[in-house]
Amino acid sequence: MSEPVVVETVEAMRAWSRMAMKAGRSVGFVPTMGALHAGHTSLMERARKENDAVVVSIYVNPTQFGIGEDFAKYPRSLDADRKLCGEAGVECIFAPKNLYETGACSFIEVGGLQEHLCGISRPGHFRGVATVVAKLFNIVEADRAYFGMKDAQQLVIIQTMVRDLNMSVTIVPCEIVREPDGLAMSSRNRYLSVTERKLALVVPRALDCFRAAIKNGERDAMKIVGEMANILAERDEVEIDYCAIVDAHTLEDVTKIKGDVLAAVAVKIGKTRLIDNARFEGL
């Protein structure tokens, strides 16, 4: 594999994309905040399969972090990221130093959907996500963009934004990639101590409980949520942010499980916030 080219300015990225477009080459886009792991690799590999070229953006977006959140200490590892992109056949890395003009004041709000789950404990987060993703879409002008299903709420919000604002990119949701012991891949797993890493397994265990209950025919959401929460609460060191079963499209809590549903969990272990989810469709 040849090394990917790294472009750092909006103008350079746009020039690259326009050349690809003129040459009739399809572009797959994987937006990331870097600190890449096997979850990201799976997105890149899928993008590689479905497009002539792959662009990965690496940008820790300040507007999606709240006050007191981990913006400053969010892991940055551009050299390792570049190597991983090269191995995955990525052709271009967009790594801007800054994406916001002085005085930038335009924001995209995806009403309703941002008021559930992570939106409650992270006010402004999804406004920042929607805005930066729209900016990246406008700069990269890709045919397809790849998002992991771990950030389930982010995915629904991006899909809704693309639909509502008639963006021409196609959103491709990709399965969650897990460690062998079941923990969902996340850049924030790097924060965990050895002890915390073990504690974190209550999250996939709670989701396993959800999957088993659904397969056993249980359709009472409150009952399953109670069982999931019991698992999460086994250890005092695990603080539950939320544990909910929601409609996969509206993200609203459900009582009777039916149609497309999502069991979504967020916990805090020490200073690290982890999210995960499991999905069933057509129930």
* Integer Cα distance of 133 and 108 in angstroms: 10
- Residue 1 makes contact with a copy of itself by CB under 8 A: no
Q: Is residue 116 among the annotated active site residues?
A: no
Give the CA dihedral 32, 34, 39, 45, nearest 10 degrees. 70
- Residue 9 makes contact with a copy of itself by CB under 8 A: no
Minimal distance, residue 157 CB to a copy of itself, in Å: 9
Task: Supply the DSSP string of 254-269, one letter for each residue.
Answer: -SB--SSEEEEEEEEE
Minimal distance, residue 118 CB to a copy of itself, in Å: 17
Q: Is the dihedral of CA 226, 228, 231, 237 positive or negative?
A: negative
- Residue 112 makes contact with a copy of itself by CB under 8 A: yes
Nearest to a copy of itself of 138, 255 (CB atom): 138
> Which one of the listed residues 40, 116, 125, 249 is annotated catalytic?
40
- Interface with a copy of itself: number of residues (CB under 8 A): 30
Q: Are the beta carbons of 261 and 218 closer than 8 angstroms?
A: no
Using the contact rule CB under 8 A, the part of the chain among 53-61, 166-174, 198-206, 261-269 near a copy of itself is 166-174
> Which is nearest to 162 in space by CA: 118, 95, 117, 113?
113
Minimal distance, residue 145 CB to a copy of itself, in Å: 14
- Residue 14 makes contact with a copy of itself by CB under 8 A: yes
CA distances from 39 to 36, 178, 184, 272 (A): 8, 8, 8, 19
Q: Is the dihedral of CA 11, 7, 22, 144 positive or negative?
A: negative
- Residue 30 makes contact with a copy of itself by CB under 8 A: no
Give the CA dihedral 61, 63, 65, 67, nearest 10 degrees. 140
- Residue 125 makes contact with a copy of itself by CB under 8 A: no
Nearest to a copy of itself of 5, 165 (CB atom): 165
Using the contact rule CB under 8 A, the part of the chain among 65-73, 75-83, 93-101, 270-278 near a copy of itself is 93-101
From first CA to last CA, the distance across the chain in angstroms is 44
Nearest to a copy of itself of 38, 104 (CB atom): 104
> Which is nearest to 92 in space by CA: 47, 150, 129?
47
- Residue 95 makes contact with a copy of itself by CB under 8 A: no
Minimal distance, residue 178 CB to a copy of itself, in Å: 31
* Integer Cα distance of 148 and 12 in angstroms: 27
- Residues identified as active-site: 40
**Which residues contact a copy of itself by CB under 8 A?**
10, 14, 99-101, 104-113, 130-131, 134-135, 138-139, 141, 160-161, 163-168
